[in-house]
Amino acid sequence: MIHMYTNVISGFAARLTESELEAMSAMPGFVRAYPDRIGPSLPFDEDTIAVGAFGAIEKGVFVSCAAGNSGPVPSTLSNEAPWILTVAASTMDRNIRVTVMLGNGLSFDGESIFQPNSFPPALYPLVYAGANGNPATALCANGSFDGFDVKGKIVLCDRGGGIARLEKGAAVLSAGGIGMILANQATDGYSTLADAHVLPASHVGFAAGDQIKAYINSSSNPTSAFLFKGTILGTSPAPAITSFSSRGPSLASPGILKPDITGPGVGPPSNYTGTTFNIISGTSMSTPHLSGIAALIKSARPDWSPAAIKSAIMTTASVVDHSGKPIVNEQLLPADLFAIGAGHVNPVKASNPGLVYDLSADDYIAYLCGLGYASKQVSVIARRTIDCSAVSSIPEKDLNYPSISVTLGGNTTYAMVERRVKNVGNAGSTYWAEVGAPYGTYARVHPPVLRFNYVNQEKRFFVVFKMVGGGGGSQGYLKWVSVNHEVRSPISITYKH
């Protein structure tokens, strides 16, 4: 922000579609938008969080960080270092419901924290903010309603455009509107959020918004009402990945599958200055859940390393929702690994994983040298002198990570990855390998059976991948199954032409 005696010039970074940019350009005070591209990510030695986290894990401190709120665009992740647990955000089976009733009898469920007792469930005039053809008005930008009568009406606003959801409601209220329906754009699909709006409101999905617009366009006197239903439990699908949760693949280290895990990040109650509580959504809300779970595991297993705790969380995660169906994304399609990582955290199972993939600080140093970092760069991260020429480097794919990510295609039609697991379950345990080979790939595990005679015994195994077809990318899993445990690792295959 630049301050002068007569003007204040401010800028910001935002993910905008072409239509949103067009709408913003019509707003008062708009000067210019400078296009940029996503990435590349910062090298780890220039990432202060990555450097600080490395020092923490050397001291045995577990570090979890938010994946970011720039989804659903691919490769928008933050905090990609493999010594960090990178956390995505998903929903819970609960929403704070406001049902939109249209004058034609159709109804659509939405969300809002604001649940007034004094707003009668009567039909009010309904108008689409974009009916005047002004893209800025469609987004309900502040000051965009000049010459557009919304007094005493419920106003349908489009989400996005770099304008905060609460600001849209404030703009409607200041223009004389009595309520707001906030409709998703296509990229946000069915993901809705409960916000503390300043007026009666309901946030609905893209499909619902389209149907409401169709009703407005086809009616000479469109009307709508709000039914405030409070907190509804047992909603489905849940958990589901929310649209804002940042996605992989990682740009900083494509051979490490990120994010690692997802947890509840949509609508958790939060402490808030000046009020009893508030509800805030974001990957910064899901991350503390994972930190708390890690703390519980650490209290039960004080001798475990941060990597062992991460492994326990990832290999016991769930990939199905409460109804037993695959976890879905904002479009109600099965979420891929670049959205959910290993899956949704299961705290109970994470406390007893059976096997763990362990790592030390020295393993990460060998990985960094194998990734092509110069000795000087690795020394910055390790905060001591490192000579990569004297280090037995580890290829990215062979870092002993709880997930597997390889690239095939071109001259590379075959790949072998190496892993080792430690028995933290019962002595005398036997595990059998089960592989869900990614499409277009043949996969084989050697040895296919692991027998552990005592606790903390380690076993090494290899997974061989061979390209037999495939397209742009494919995903699968590896499970080690015993009588008492199922240790699951996601597999991501990227195909190059």
Q: Per residue in 235-279, pLDDT tens? A: 999 999 999 999 999 999 999 999 999 999 998 877 767 777 778
Domain 400-497 top-level CATH class: mainly beta
What pLDDT does residue 114 have? 94
Domain 42-90+243-353, CATH number (from 3.30.30.10, 3.40.50.200, 2.40.240.20, 2.40.110.10) = 3.40.50.200
Do domains 42-90+243-353 and 400-497 share one topology? The answer is no
Domain ranges of the chain: 42-90+243-353, 94-233, 400-497
Please state the separation of Cα 243 from the chain's center in Å: 8
pLDDT of residue 472: 66
Per-residue model confidence (pLDDT) at position 133: 84
pLDDT at 136: 85
Q: What is the pLDDT of residue 41?
A: 72
In contact, 81 and 53? CB cutoff 8 Å: yes
**How much is the pLDDT for 392?**
94
| Separation of CA 493 from chain center | 20
- Architecture per CATH, domain 94-233, reads as 3-Layer(bba) Sandwich (3.50)
Q: Are 124 and 154 within 8 A, CB to CB?
A: yes
pLDDT on residue 409: 82
- The pLDDT score that the predictor gives to residue 24 is 54
Q: Which residues of the chain have pLDDT under 70?
A: 1-40, 272, 470-472
* Alpha-helical runs (H) found in 3-151: 18-25, 48-58, 135-138
**pLDDT for the residue numbered 146:** 87
Asked if 443 and 414 count as a contact pair (C-beta separation under 8 A), the reply is no
| pLDDT tens per residue, range 24-53 | 555 555 555 544 444 447 899 999 999 999
CA neighbours within 13 Å on the CB side: how many for 414? 2
